[in-house]
Amino acid sequence: MKELLFGATIGFVAGIIDIIPMILQKLDKTSCISAFVHYFVLGLIIPFVNIDIYPWLKGALIAILTAFPIMIIVYPKDKKAIIPI
């Protein structure tokens, strides 16, 4: 339970940090909600993945892997958006 609460807190903070620039750029609400949910859910998943690497590297690796489907959808419409994702 402790890991779940810690992960949810980290995911919430990461989601807020991610959507602040998006709100400042006046991106649509759906994009902001999608980004927030992505990082919030990652906060719930990452603590339970058992890979023997540094925790920050494990988080980065899982975040990049779970962002690939979003990148595939966005790439044909806006090639410049891949880097911020």
- What pLDDT does residue 53 have? 92
Q: How many Å apart are CA 45 and CA 34, to the nearest integer?
A: 16
pLDDT-based confidence at 22, cuts 50/70/90? confident
In the predicted structure, residue 12 carries a pLDDT above the cut 90: yes
Average pLDDT, the chain: 86
Element (H, E) at 13: helix 2-24
What's the first-to-final CA gap in the chain, in angstroms?
Answer: 30
Count of residues making up the chain: 85
Mean pLDDT of 46-52: 88
Please tell me the distance from the alpha carbon of residue 52 to that of residue 84, in angstroms, as a whole number. Answer: 28
